Structure 1
Amino acid sequence: MMGDSVFNCCYVPPRPPGEEEPHRSRHTEIMASQSAQVASDKRFLIFFDFDETIVDETSDDIVVQTAPGHHLPDWLKDTYQPGRYNEYMQRVLAYLAEQGVTESDIRSAMEKIPSTPGMLTVFQFLRNRPPQDFEVVLLSDANSFFIESWLRRAGARQLFHRIFTNPATFNRDGRLVLRPFHSHDCPRCPVNMCKQVVVRDYVARRTQERGRPYQRVLYVGDGANDFCPALALGPRDVAFPRKDFPMHRLITETHEAMPGEFKAVTVPWMSGDDVVQRLRKLVAE
């Protein structure tokens, strides 16, 4: 379903400049082995979207506020083409750099984005669970710099086992260079990312590594591009669409138009407290 393996192109945070690969002592190897064993014992795999799911805004909209006058010129906005938003944001970031917007400016803007109501409660719940319960993955069509900036400020980076998003790094000229995540042939999704491809590939790979499937796969999202991966979920899995957002509306329409097409249990949420309530029931089973 896709040209490039998602595992060849997913974002892996780099080590700080000048930091070398640490020497692996026998103790370190034992700890790594134990950590791998714990990872293989996870009962549940839970995916989170970022924009308007973890944070209560769209990070691409927030970065525009760093522009002169807090808006973009019409000639730039007119270059947007449906399905090619990633390419459009590449041009937006180039424009911001030309206007003197710095790495510090962008990081500061990201750090100030409020979390979605109750989402930090979800994170606290996941942190407090026994280590064998949840493997937590972030899957977003935003970009690595925006997401890493926010998570580190919120103290939530260590919660996520993996982050799948569009790579973004600053070049020597101080411009944030955004790249597409992968290529695929899904007609529902933007050309740079199909989240269903990521979910299917990741679940298949981890199931093979673990030697058994997860008890359930869970997906927390809000947007139309979160509907596509939720279609890959089975009848024991759980989709958490943000209530009255596009993902929720598409699930409802699918149930009405094609009964049985959408298989996962659906738990709409207005606050992260709604998500925690269902997670408590799942871990108690």
Structure 2
Amino acid sequence: KIFRGLNCIFHPPQLKTPKYYCEERPPKMASSSTTNNPRFLMFFDFDETMISENSDDTVVNLLPNQQLPKWLLDSYREGHYHEFSGKITAYLAEQGITKDALLSAVQKIPPNAGMLDLFRFLQSHQQDFELVVVSDANTCFIERWLEHNKLGHLFRKVFTNPSHFDDSGRLVLQPFHSHSCPRCPDNMCKQVILREYMAGREKERGGVGFQRVFYAGDGSNDVCPTRALGPQDAAFARRDYPMHKLMMEMQQSESTEIKANVVPWVTGADIEDYLAKIMKER
């Protein structure tokens, strides 16, 4: 991995809805009318959760020597990974890496083991699950991957950093929002996104909340959103990745910050097995 970052407290700003710039039209997302007020809400991270790689690493591998120059690596500032990603895409464009090459590489990233089976399971129970992506990647990469894998229709919403290709063919990234969380990257606090989304959906559903909320991730910045979950909810942490290690440390220190059940996963089958058991409790 090049870098990946950080863990936060809640201070709700006004969320910006990401705009889609990559294609003429974004992949079709599920609407509330087709999901019939599902009982469960599930959030997915993208890099190294839904997909098997970090998409930034994937596009860096398009370079002839498959690595960034030292001066660029040294420009990274802690907590400003999004800024660093913008420098990466600018450098790739300068080296002649085209829009088509970038998007082609991203769409070929394989899903994590068992993830497609998990999504088939969730689709077969679409009346019970509302799905959302929350990622520090960008719209162009996520849209292309979902479209290529015919998964866009499963997700009611995708929260990620807006992006577009400029006239020179460079992928330009914008921060998702600003926030006051001291433990999250400056461009995105996923806990803020979860709390805002859950509150908004409860209002849209006539004051009816979700029975349970689930969050699947891998990185240290996936710890913060789990603080928005309750004791009936579950945080799926990829085993031996930063999210899992940090949450294990918090549990061992008897921290009260995490109320949700922490469920380690290696493949999508681990998540599917847990959700199948929940379904039998109906």
Q: When the two structures are superposed, what TM-score results if normalisation uses the length of structure 1?
A: 0.89
Between the two proteins, what is the percent identity of the paired residues?
A: 49
Deviation at 1:183, TM superposition (A): 0.5
Match of 1:134 in 2: 129
Using CA pairs under 8 Å that are at least 6 residues apart, name the structure with larger relative contact order, 1 or 2.
Answer: 2
Residues 70-115 of structure 1: CA deviation (Å, up to 9, x unaligned)? 2211111111111011111111111111111111000111012111
Residues 5-61 of structure 1: CA deviation (Å, up to 9, x unaligned)? 11xx232446964x8xxxxxxxxxxxxxxx644546110000000011001111111
Q: Indicate conservation of the 8 Å contact 1:65/1:71, yes or no.
A: yes
Unmatched tracts of structure 1, length 5 or more: 20-34
Match of 2:17 in 1: 10
Match of 1:201 in 2: 196
Pair member with larger Rg: 1
Match of 1:29 in 2: none
Match of 1:46 in 2: 42
Match of 1:27 in 2: none
Q: Indicate conservation of the 8 Å contact 2:20/2:162, yes or no.
A: no
Structure with more of its chain in helix, by fraction: 1
Match of 1:162 in 2: 157
Secondary structure at the aligned position of 1:142 is classed as strand
Match of 1:114 in 2: 110
Unmatched tracts of structure 2, length 5 or more: 1-9, 26-30
Please give the alpha-carbon distance, in whole angstroms, between the structure 1 residues aligned to 2:37 and 2:94. 49
RMSD after superposition: 1.7
Please give the alpha-carbon distance, in whole angstroms, between the structure 2 residues aligned to 1:190 and 1:36. 31
Aligned-partner residue type, residue 114 of structure 1: P
Deviation at 1:68, TM superposition (A): 3.2
Deviation at 1:147, TM superposition (A): 1.0
Match of 1:143 in 2: 138
Give the aligned length: 266
Deviation at 1:4, TM superposition (A): 4.3
Aligned-partner residue type, residue 260 of structure 2: A
Please give the alpha-carbon distance, in whole angstroms, between the structure 2 residues aligned to 1:15 and 1:108. 13
Please give the alpha-carbon distance, in whole angstroms, between the structure 2 residues aligned to 1:170 and 1:149. 13
Match of 1:77 in 2: 73
Residues 152-174 of structure 1: CA deviation (Å, up to 9, x unaligned)? 11111111110000111001111
Please give the alpha-carbon distance, in whole angstroms, between the structure 1 residues aligned to 2:221 and 2:200. 22
Aligned-partner residue type, residue 5 of structure 1: Q
Match of 1:66 in 2: 62
Q: When the two structures are superposed, what TM-score results if normalisation uses the length of structure 2?
A: 0.90
Aligned-partner residue type, residue 11 of structure 1: P
Correspondence list, 1:192-231, <5 A: 192-211=187-206, 212-231=208-227
Whether 1:241 aligns to 2:248 is no
Cα 1:260–1:240, aligned 2, differ >3 Å: closer, same or farther?
A: same
Aligned-partner residue type, residue 95 of structure 1: Y
